[in-house]
């Protein structure tokens, strides 16, 4: 990671030159601006961690507020170059106001940069954690969607397996029942035509014929089986609903 820059903001060129010389000799990467507009351009294009500026006039105080509004995490080192030798006052974030020398200015800037780096490292850590959380959330959503699709496909496959098994059984039952039923119905119908309604056994044969008709209707429904539909039976048991499962209803 590149070291954040130090921005010097003074209208007085002599003051700017003096502070720049001190900080450059200490090894800092320095930018300079003589007004708020220049400072904003530098802040927008460079990674500035510390701003060194004056606190003597109202305009300079307004510049400080403007910088704070741009980035609340930028460290501000307020420093006034003395009018006479030996008179130097400095304050870091409004917390210090005592006579200082050049070494103290360097120390203030170094301490401010350390805080800036700590904040930047913390922000990167938080951003990395948030990015990881977003990736995990996206992966979770993907897996949940995949799980739902698998469950739908499993349900469809189970349903299709049931229908396939029933279709095979239906075909066999329809074939095996249809032929004997046709024989029974044909024979009983012939007998009924040759018998008088008052003859002994007529009612029994008619009952056999009617029951065969009912069974034939069930066989037709079985033969028209198209969908696996069930209905409640004894207890919690489910049985095939032939009326709903076949195309021929009635």
Task: Name the residue range of residue 210's domain.
Answer: 155-245
Q: Which of 80, 100, 120 is the last residue of a domain?
A: 100
57 confidence band (pLDDT: 50, 70, 90): low
Same-domain status, 92 and 24: yes
Whether 96 shows a pLDDT value over 50: the answer reads: no
CA-CA-CA-CA torsion sign (4, 21, 68, 78): positive
| Residue bearing tokens 């007004």 | 35
Rg (C-alpha) for the chain, rounded Å, is 47
- At 100, is the pLDDT very low, low, confident or very high (cuts 50, 70, 90)? low
Same domain for 89 and 163? no
Position 90 pLDDT exceeds 80: no
- Terminal Cα distance for the chain, rounded: 82
Number of domains, the chain: 2
Tell me: do 11 and 96 sit in the same domain: yes
pLDDT at 245: 66
| Pair 94, 11 in one domain | yes
Q: What is the mean pLDDT of residues 231-249?
A: 68
Q: What CATH number should be reported for the domain holding residue 172? A: 1.10.287
CATH number of the domain to which 33 belongs: 3.40.50.2300
HSE-up (13 A, CA, CB side) for residue 232? 3
For residue 148, being part of any structural domain is answered with: no
Q: Is residue 181 part of a domain?
A: yes
Domain co-membership, 90 together with 9: yes
Quick check: is 124 in a domain? no
d(CA 156, CA 152): 6
Residue 141 has a pLDDT of 92
- pLDDT, averaged across the chain: 76
Indicate the pLDDT class of residue 171, thresholds 50, 70 and 90: confident
CA 73 to chain centre: 30
Total residue length of the chain? 250
What pLDDT is attached to residue 162? 76
pLDDT value at 1 more than 60: no
Beta-strand ranges (E) seen in 44-192 are 48-53, 75-80, 89-92, 98-99
Domain C-terminal end among 72, 100, 128: 100
- Give the mean pLDDT of 81-87: 46
216 and 185 Cβ atoms separated by less than 8 Å: yes
Contact call for residues 241 and 214 (beta carbons, < 8 A): no
Among 100, 118, 139, where does a domain finish?
Answer: 100
Q: Is the pLDDT of residue 21 over 90?
A: no
Separation of alpha carbons 120 and 72, rounded Å: 12
């Amino acid at each position: 990671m590149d070291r954040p820059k130090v921005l010097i903001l003074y209208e007085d060129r002599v003051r700017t030159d003096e502070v720049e010389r001190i900080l450059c000799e200490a090894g800092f990467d320095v930018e300079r601006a003589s007004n708020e507009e220049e400072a904003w351009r530098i802040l927008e294009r460079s990674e500035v961690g510390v701003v060194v500026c004056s606190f003597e006039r109202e305009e300079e105080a307004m510049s400080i507020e403007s910088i704070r509004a741009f980035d609340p995490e930028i460290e501000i080192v307020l420093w006034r170059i003395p009018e006479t030798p030996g008179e130097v006052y400095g304050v870091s974030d409004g917390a210090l106001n005592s006579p200082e020398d050049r070494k103290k200015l360097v120390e203030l800037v170094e301490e401010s940069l350390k805080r800036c780096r700590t904040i930047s490292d913390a922000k990167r850590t938080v951003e990395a954690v948030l990015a990881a959380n977003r990736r995990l959330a996206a992966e979770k959503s993907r897996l949940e969607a995949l799980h739902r699709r698998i469950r739908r496909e499993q349900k469809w496959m189970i349903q299709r397996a049931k229908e396939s098994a029933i279709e095979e059984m239906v075909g066999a039952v329809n074939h095996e029942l249809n032929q004997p039923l046709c024989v029974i119905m044909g024979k009983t119908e012939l007998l009924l035509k040759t018998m008088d309604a008052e003859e002994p056994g007529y009612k029994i044969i008619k009952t056999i014929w009617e029951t065969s008709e009912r069974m034939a209707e069930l066989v037709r429904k079985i033969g028209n089986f198209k969908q696996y539909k069930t209905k409640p039976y004894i207890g919690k048991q489910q049985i095939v609903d032939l009326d709903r499962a076949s195309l021929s209803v009635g």
